[in-house]
A and B are shown apart, each in its own frame.
Chain A
């Protein structure tokens, strides 16, 4: 291979001049962004829970299945957020192996939860046929509505970084956001049956993950932040 070539001597002056005009992020921006996203996710989820109210049959649900359901949902959300929301050693985002494992295991765990655990009581409604489809639409809409701002928010810390795997990183943090939204819907929805849980609670998570992948690949959040105006963390 050829030896390292030195760039033209005038390039240094051009880079320094351009940098002196361009805004830059302040020290500690990553930590502030992550804390901000954490606070937003907590407040948003709590507000959604308060707004949608708990399901009508809440009192008669078996405690063990309720505990298992929310434990799995929070665990998947936490692990996906922890694995995806990192700069990585080389500042290129999390490694591919970790992302792939977390997304695959997370989706499998959610699928197993939906199919195997159905927290329902004697008065929990079970639907089938066309009614199943129609009653799944509000749940899917609620999950998408709660999840969409979360997906956008969890990508804010990455604004300005060049990720080696932007699509998969977006999908991983999208999984975390979708799972939190799933928990809100699970808290609210009084319909039983794994068919409804699959259609109304699990499947809406897939477009949210795809949206996270697209947002991350196309730098949608970064461009949006730039358009809104240089935030206070940047200095001239």
Chain B
């Protein structure tokens, strides 16, 4: 009764845009894209580690949203829906590629652009270029190195653990939302994220804790993921 008196809760711009798009306003798709695409692309790029594939899957995600606009329930949160579609497309893509690899048993070209981590010099140069604007070159380089190492470590995790960790810690969704996206229970999401955290901590400590002075020390690694992992327990 109080809710009726107060009226409907205020909606976020993305939900408002999606409501208009679902109601038949074609022009609202651009707004939906502008508000949701960065998060979707970032999530997919993290899963694929291949910008071209991430672009293709982002495009397909928005086409699915376009096709299913008449099925959208007004007022529903849009990003969890977009993540669900994106993750399902990614899993289908992985299966299709695996099937292709089985068919072409000789195997394709290893590695893809940006996935082999073979361009540290370029990243270092970029870090140096932007150093004047803020932190020191060493800090920027260490941040980039840590970020890349974290991405590489995430790529070694099972997809379910990596997705749970990314959605929960990277995209900032709630446990309930991630459970809805992944089609599992809240407890399973917490467990996956916690396992991901433990594995990531081990992998990154193994890499940075060896005493190489040019790389971030173990405490920095722990700081990078520690708080996030602790929340997942």
Residues of chain A touching chain B, judged by Cβ–Cβ distance below 8 Å, are 1-2, 4-8, 11-12, 14-16, 18-20, 22-30, 87-93, 95-97, 157, 160-165, 168, 233
Task: Provide the residues of chain A in CB contact with B72, threshold 8 Å.
Answer: 91
Task: Provide the residues of chain A in CB contact with B152, threshold 8 Å.
Answer: none
Main secondary structure of the interface of B (DSSP, over half): helix
Task: Provide the residues of chain A in CB contact with B179, threshold 8 Å.
Answer: 95-96
How distant is B201 from chain A, measured CB to nearest CB, in Å?
Answer: 14
Query: Apart from A89-B80, A92-B80, what are 4 other A-B pairs with CB-CB below 8 Å?
Result: A15-B37, A15-B59, A29-B70, A90-B80
By the criterion CB–CB under 8 Å, are B84 and A162 in contact?
Answer: yes
* A26 and B69 alpha carbons, distance in the complex (Å): 7
By the criterion CB–CB under 8 Å, are A162 and B185 in contact?
Answer: no
By the criterion CB–CB under 8 Å, are A22 and B63 in contact?
Answer: yes
Task: Provide the residues of chain A in CB contact with B30, threshold 8 Å.
Answer: 12, 16
With A5-B41, A19-B62: A164-B68 Cβ-Cβ less than 8 Å: no
By the criterion CB–CB under 8 Å, are B147 and A92 in contact?
Answer: no
By the criterion CB–CB under 8 Å, are B68 and A160 in contact?
Answer: yes
Task: Provide the residues of chain B in CB contact with A96, threshold 8 Å.
Answer: 179, 183-185
Would you list 19 pairs from A and B whose C-beta atoms are within 8 A, ordered by A residue? A1-B166, A2-B42, A2-B151, A2-B170, A6-B41, A11-B59, A15-B29, A19-B66, A25-B68, A26-B24, A27-B23, A89-B80, A90-B76, A91-B71, A92-B80, A92-B81, A162-B89, A164-B182, A164-B184
By the criterion CB–CB under 8 Å, are B33 and A16 in contact?
Answer: yes
* A59 and B73 alpha carbons, distance in the complex (Å): 48
Asked if B169 lies at the interface with its beta carbon under 8 angstroms from chain A, I say: yes
Task: Provide the residues of chain A in CB contact with B54, threshold 8 Å.
Answer: 7
Task: Provide the residues of chain A in CB contact with B45, threshold 8 Å.
Answer: 5
By the criterion CB–CB under 8 Å, are B183 and A163 in contact?
Answer: yes
By the criterion CB–CB under 8 Å, are B39 and A25 in contact?
Answer: no
Q: How many residues of B sit at the interface, in one of the four size bands?
A: 35 or more
By the criterion CB–CB under 8 Å, are B67 and A12 in contact?
Answer: no
Task: Provide the residues of chain A in CB contact with B24, threshold 8 Å.
Answer: 26-27
Task: Provide the residues of chain B in CB contact with A92, threshold 8 Å.
Answer: 80-81, 84, 180-181, 183
* A12 and B29 alpha carbons, distance in the complex (Å): 10
With A90-B77, A164-B183: A15-B33 Cβ-Cβ less than 8 Å: yes
With A27-B23, A30-B73, A164-B84: A2-B183 Cβ-Cβ less than 8 Å: no
| Residue interface bits B216-233, CB-to-A below 8 A is 1, else 0 | 000000000000100000
